Structure 1
Amino acid sequence: MTTQNELRLLSWAGPEGRPCYLSADEQNGYMSRLADHIEAMQLGMASELLEHALQALDDEAAADEGDLSLLAAQLAGALRDVLRVATSRGNRLATPEYP
């Protein structure tokens, strides 16, 4: 039986927003590499979105209320993804054993 700390939290949600986990013995297996690739894409998209948000905030005259509302929703989604990636990676860090 696989314990919770042996499961990898994936950076996307399943049906109804529930977390998805990967049970894989190989860190370099196909599914683990796919999860790594998707995490990298999510982090890259969040970085690009942050740049776009900073530009929109600098040019207040060009951004209308609808644009800012959409931007806020996209930022919230990106933040959710980044936090899930950070949590997943934190869970996979080796924890030191103290005497």
Structure 2
Amino acid sequence: MRAASAPVAVRRDGDALVFSGALVRDAVARLWTQAAPLRAGAQRIDLTAVERIDSAGLALIAELSNGALAVDGAPAGLDALRGAYRLDPATLGFAR
């Protein structure tokens, strides 16, 4: 039996946007609406409570980071997607 997934959510904790659950296509629109107003003044994105991420979730995080925020955590799928899109591991900015 598979364990229940954590609820998909975003919150502000100090200087971090903290995500939890699975950052996948079905959740991205709702998360964008919640995360965008929390972005101002953030210094990092915390993905340590994220179970997995797909390309839509990566697009959300990359847009929020805009290559300027540190990214903590490595949910399932993130390393492969970063490599495929040639994104910097630390900030998700485009790695030339």
TM-score interval, normalised by the smaller of the two chains = under 0.3
More helix as a share of residues: 1
Pick the structure with more strand per residue. Answer: 2
- TM-score for the superposition, normalised by structure 1: 0.27
Q: Higher relative CO (CA 8 A, sep ≥ 6), structure 1 or 2?
A: 1
